[in-house]
Structure formats: structure tokens, C-alpha cells
Amino acid sequence: MLFYTPNRMTRPIRLSEKTRQFAYDSLNHKYGIETREHNAVSLDEIDIEIYQKMSPLMRYDTAIFQIVSKAPLRICDGERISGAATLGLAIDHRVPATYGGVKIFSSVSHLTVDFETVVKKGINHIRKEAEISLEKHRGTEKEDFLKSCLHCLNCFDIWHKRYLDALADRPEYRANYENLKRVPMEPAASFYEAVQSIWFTFAFLRLCGNWPGIGRIDCLLGEYLKNDLQKGIVTLDEAREILAHFFIKGCEWVAGGDYVSGDAQHYQNILLGGIDENGCDVTNEVTYLVLDILEELGISDFPTSVRLNQNTDEKLLRRVAEVMRYGGGMLAVYNEDKVIEALQKDGYELSEARRFANDGCWEVQVPGKTFFMYLPFDSLHILQKNTLNGYEAGVDYPTFESLYQRYIADLKRAVEALVQVRVEKCNTRNEKGEWVWESLTPCTVISLFERGCIEKGCSYFEGGPIYNIISPHIGGLADTVNSLYAIKKLVFEEQRLTLPEFMRVLKNDWEGEEPLRQYVLTHYSYYGNDNEEVDRLAARLLDDFADICAELNGKCGYRFPAGVSTFGRQLEWIPQRASSPHGRKKGEILAGNSSPTPGTDREGATAIIRSYCNADLSRLTTGAALDLKLLPSAVEGEDGLSALMALMRGFVILGGFFMQLDVADVSVLRDAQEHPEDYQTLSVRVSGWNARFVTLSREWQNMIIEQTER
């Protein structure tokens, strides 16, 4: 069986044929189609008058009970670990329950939950904490939430027992049964139990509609595997098989079809390597087993990032490069030195900063302790519509500095307006001086696995987690910087035309001004070419943006750290954008994340990294992603491998934050457009997640191809 890569490299074979067949079936829609056939449980048996009188939390609790009681159980042929999220509505980011055919609740994503407590202490430990907190808060407004916590833990028990009963009736799954008996209710005692503990908890969260990240899987599992190897309980080959089933079962929602931005976008990201809270390197055998599995199976459903630093071992760096050059965008890298610096600047203790993971995409958070939301906006649109008044007549500024200062003022107003609705939900304090949140959508299941929620008696959405973060994310960075730079050069320095004259050109979408447009396109060296002048402008803009965000802290119970992203919204933003001062016409696809405007980067990958790293990225606490596309020819052979390793080393030394590297062959992508049936497992990196290429809409596919061709 063949797992496609963009560059046709031959993948190694380490796993058993049965495991490889399991992977093939899962990636080719077998279980995703089954899941779509069972969309949701129905609460219609509840009388309408009773239902209307139920509080949202009562409806939620009823829905969770029906889900765990009625959701189909799935035991895949030959599976080594058990548990499955089998209701299709969960794939749509909803709690999979309806009333009168209507979806009841949305669900939670963009977080990495507290799997550490589950593995090391067990669900029963969480239950005891909930019982203690309930006694503490009896007779208060927090009582109902804590009762809901205990109810949802009881539901977890019901679902767990259903699986044990099903496995007990299948002698061929005796090992699964024995392994699931204790976990995740009690602490894991072996590597096999630890893998099962994480998976079953993860599957329960997904069954209830949530999309959590996994986080630092090698930290969670490393000691268990080390101990079992020393005792002879398991071999590396056996451990690889067990862990491979974790990854394969994570493909249970692969159902094929067109999902616009792809069908692997469920935020179940994984993080490898780096240091722990004590500064010790965590890289272990699990780290390398994960890389083995990704290399062999090409599974993209767990977008995986590796934490690098200036002391990263050459062995790990080489292994990362070896897997990365298969393409598919399965691996990305953090410079943990910069990330930890950013978190410390934002007030996190060093030990907490060192524990960072991602939110299920690539935004940084402390796992199991963080409420996270990001607020994206188009900085180019603000420049065009506000500062330049839609290119209407009368726009003029005496100097470039006056134009820039007006833009920063417009940017500040836009960011403040963006967060105002969130501030209003939490801008009062109680008699103890604690921030008070409005009552929001019930989310008890996710709250069980976020530290602080049970202790405070508050849900994930209502201030429960230890850190409550809403991050404004500036989009269109390169295009805004390039537009400002073109105006600065063309109007204020070279004085080829006045600003009002230039506004007329832009208002007419460059019609009749092709020589001028070509001059603007080709004469200037824009962001991404290691041009100190334009890169300083980008750095200045990011500093000013970070200052705007910092001023919002203290106004409510949230903090507002800055970040940079588009996540593919450059497609969504096309209708609101006018033609751009840096020579682009209306309707063109422009820059993604922190990457250059397509077609402007002429000096290669190293120059792009230098431009990106010119800014103080430690001011961008939740992250700034750089996307790089490499041709297969650039990473071929030992020289290509060495070049890829050097690129990652340079990214760390220069002070990068997060880099998404993908190796892609345009000819393969174009053939996949025409013959999708032959490329069902072909994966590409999109923008913080991976997607099977054939499940992207044509518009998204063309964007990926254009990014690869430039």
C-alpha cells in the first residue's frame, strides 16, 4: 500500500503489515464514513415544556449522558488501544446532540488540556478534587457547575464501562481489556497503560464534540517507556506498534470530500523535544518513535512541531530533517529560546514558560492551564479603508511619519473595538476582588481537564483556567509593510507623484498605469529579501502593535498578548481589499502569516528568515508563524539534508519564533487536482494545520500551488 508524498520518496517500513493496513483503511475513509452515518444523539424524548424550563447547564448534562449512553462503540479490527469518537456532528465542532433536529451547543477548541494529571494521577483524582470543591462552594452560585463536573465524570465512567463490557465479550481483545481496566481512572503503571489513558481521555473529549491538542507526548510517555524497556516489559518495536495505533485511531474522522480548508483541521497537535520546567532536555525514545511513525505512515492528522534550541542535539535535528523532507507539512519547528523569552516578558514564571505547548494550532500557551482565543484582523484593510480613506480624493499627509502615525492610531482604534465585546463580558469584580464573567455556553467536559476550573468552581469559558488569554492577531503584515514602504519611497522620497495622484491610481486599480505598476513591483526590495530599511519598518509596526495590545491588559479578566497570523484568511479578505500600493491589483492573493507577499521574495529562504527575525519576536507572546515552501530538489541527498539542518539552525540562532517548512512538488499537486482519486492521502501544510490536498476547495488548492511556485 502507498502513502503519497509530494516528492515520491520511498518511505521506510518498520511497522507490521496489519498495522499498515489499519492505517490505510483509516486514512481512506473507512471509519470517517461510519462516523458520519451516526450524526448525533437526540433529546426529543424530553417533553417540550420540560425542555424549555431546563437551564443550559441541565440541557448540557442531559446531552452528555445521552452521548455516553447511546453513542455507537467502535472496536477496529486488530486495534491495540480502544475508544472512539463515533458521532459525526462532533466533526463539525458541535456537541453531538440535537433537540427537534436542531444543534444545541457549540464545543471547544484551541486548547491543550491537562493530560498530565490524567496519566499520572487518574480520573478518580479529578473526582476527589471536584467533591472537595463542591463541599467548599455549597450554597453558592458555583454549586451547579461543580455538580455538573461530577455528573460528567459519572458519564465518563458509563462510557468506560461500556467499552470494558464490549471488550470482555471479544477474547481476541483480551489485552485491550486488561490494559483499559485501570486507566484512565487510576494512574498509568506502564507505557501501554499510559498510551491508552491519553487516548481514551482524548476520545471522550472528542466524543463530546471538543477538539483538544495533545501537547508534549514525549514528556507524558517518556519515563513510562524508559522504565518498561529497562524491565523488559516491552521492546522498542512493540512500543512503536502501540504508539502507531494512537496515531492511526486519530484518523477516525477522515471522511473524504470537499471541506474548503481541508479535512484534517481538528487541532490535535503534538509537540516534541525541548526542555522541561527544570531546564532538562526531554528528548527520549518516544520522540524518535513518533518521528518513525510519521515518516512511515505519512499521517498528517496530528500536525507535529519540534522544540529546537541552540543546544539541540545533532541526532534529533538530523532526524527532524529526514522526516521533514518527505513533505506533507507534518513537521514544524519552534525556537524555544525565543518562545520562553516571550512568555517571561509577558509575566510567566520561568518554570511555566518552559512548559509551553501549542493550542491545537501553533499559538503558544501553557497546556492544561489556559483559556485561549485569538482575534484576527486585516491590517491592510485598515490602511486602505481608514488611513487612506478608501483612496478617495483629498487624502494627503505632509510627511511619511504623519501618515504612519495616523495608521497606528487607526490600528489602535481597530484593535480596541475588536476586544471591546470581550471586555464587556468580564469587566466587574466581586467583593473578593475577583473578576466576574458572564455566564456563557456550558463546557463542563473540557473544564474537567483545565487546572483552575474545579478549584475555582468556574468553567473554562467563565474564568476557570489559571491563564485567560485573548490574543489580537495582526494579519496581512507583509502587505501592509510593503504598502507603507512603497508610499514612502515613491511619494515622499523619490517624489514621482503626489499622494493624491497616487490615490487616484490606486482607486482605478492601476488602470492605464502599467509602467508605474511594474516599476513599483520590480524596483523596490520588499519584506522577505533581507532589506534592512523595509525590515526596520516591519519591526517598528510589530512593536507598535504589541504596545497597543499591552495597554489593554488590566481592563478585565483577560490578558491580550499580541500575535501574527492569517490562517488562510488572505482568501476570505480578498473582497474587502482594494488594489495595493506595492503594485498588486484588487483580487490578488496576498501574504499569509508572517511570510512575504507572494512573488516578492527573490533572495531565497535564508533572506526570508533574516527579514522575519529582524523584528523583536519576543513581543509577540502567542506567536508569529513563518511559512516556507521548499522544492524537493533543494533537499535531495546528503547536501540537501545538511542544507535543511542549517536552515533550522539559522532560524534558531537568528531569533525566530515558529517556522512551518513544507516540501512540495507542483507537478504532483496539479496532477492531484485532476486525479484526486489517486491522491487521497497526499498531505500539505496549510497554515497551522495539515490537510489532505484533495479535500481542499479549488480556491485553496490554487493558493497552495501559487505559494509553492513562487
What pLDDT does residue 689 have? 72
Which of 373, 462, 429 has the alpha carbon at shortest distance from 57?
462
> Is residue 1's pLDDT more than 60?
no
- If you write DSSP's letter for every residue of 364-425 in order, what string do you get? EE-TTSEEEEEEEEEHHHHIIIIITGGG-TT---SSHHHHHHHHHHHHHHHHHHHHHHHHTT
Q: How confident is the model at residue 699 (pLDDT cuts 50, 70, 90)?
A: confident
User: What would the mean pLDDT of 686-702 be, rounded to a whole number?
Assistant: 77
C-alpha cell at 170: 471479544
Instruction: Measure the CA–CA gap between 47 and 428, rounded to whole angstroms.
Output: 38
> Is residue 264's pLDDT more than 70?
no
What pLDDT does residue 261 have? 65
DSSP 8-state secondary structure symbol assigned to residue 172: G
> Is residue 439's pLDDT more than 70?
yes
Which of 293, 263, 298 has the alpha carbon at shortest distance from 4?
298
Express each pLDDT in 539-571 by its tens digit: 999 999 999 999 999 989 999 999 999 988 998
Q: How confident is the model at residue 194 (pLDDT cuts 50, 70, 90)?
A: very high
Q: Lowest mean pLDDT: which of 165-174, 596-605, 687-696? A: 687-696
What pLDDT does residue 679 have? 78
Name the pairing type of β-strands 658-663 and 331-335: antiparallel
Express each pLDDT in 379-423 by its tens digit: 999 999 999 999 998 899 999 999 999 999 999 999 999 999 888
The helix/strand/coil state of 485 is helix
What pLDDT does residue 461 have? 96
Q: What does pLDDT average to over the chain?
A: 94
What pLDDT does residue 314 have? 97
> Is residue 129's pLDDT more than 90?
yes
> Is residue 8's pLDDT more than 70?
no
What pLDDT does residue 113 have? 98
Measured CA angle at 598 (ends 700, 390), to 5 deg: 90
pTM of the model: 0.95
Which of 114, 117, 119, 113 has the alpha carbon at shortest distance from 188?
119
Domains of the chain, CATH where assigned = 17-363 (3.20.70.20), 377-403+470-621 (no CATH)
Express each pLDDT in 469-484 by its tens digit: 999 999 999 999 999 9
* DSSP E strand boundaries for 200-342: 211-213, 215-216, 270-272, 304-308, 331-335
> Is residue 2's pLDDT more than 60?
no
Radius of gyration of the chain (CA): 26
What are the backbone angles phi and psi of residue 345, rounded to the nearest 5°? -60, -30
Q: How confident is the model at residue 677 (pLDDT cuts 50, 70, 90)?
A: confident
Which of 376, 688, 378, 420 has the alpha carbon at shortest distance from 562?
376
Q: How confident is the model at residue 328 (pLDDT cuts 50, 70, 90)?
A: confident
Torsional sign, CA 580, 584, 587, 593? negative
What pLDDT does residue 262 have? 66
Which of 299, 310, 306 has the alpha carbon at shortest distance from 283?
306
Express each pLDDT in 273-294 by its tens digit: 999 999 999 999 999 999 999 9
What pLDDT does residue 692 have? 76
The helix/strand/coil state of 627 is strand
Instruction: Measure the CA–CA gap between 360 and 108, rounded to whole angstroms.
Output: 11
- If you write DSSP's letter for every residue of 182-222 in order, what string do you get? TTTTS---SHHHHHHHHHHHHHHHHHTT-EEE-EEHHHHHH
> Is residue 514's pLDDT more than 70?
yes
C-alpha cell at 355: 512548559
What pLDDT does residue 3 have? 62
CB atoms within 10 A of CB 178: 12
> Is residue 537's pLDDT more than 80?
yes
Which of 478, 476, 473 has the alpha carbon at shortest distance from 596?
478
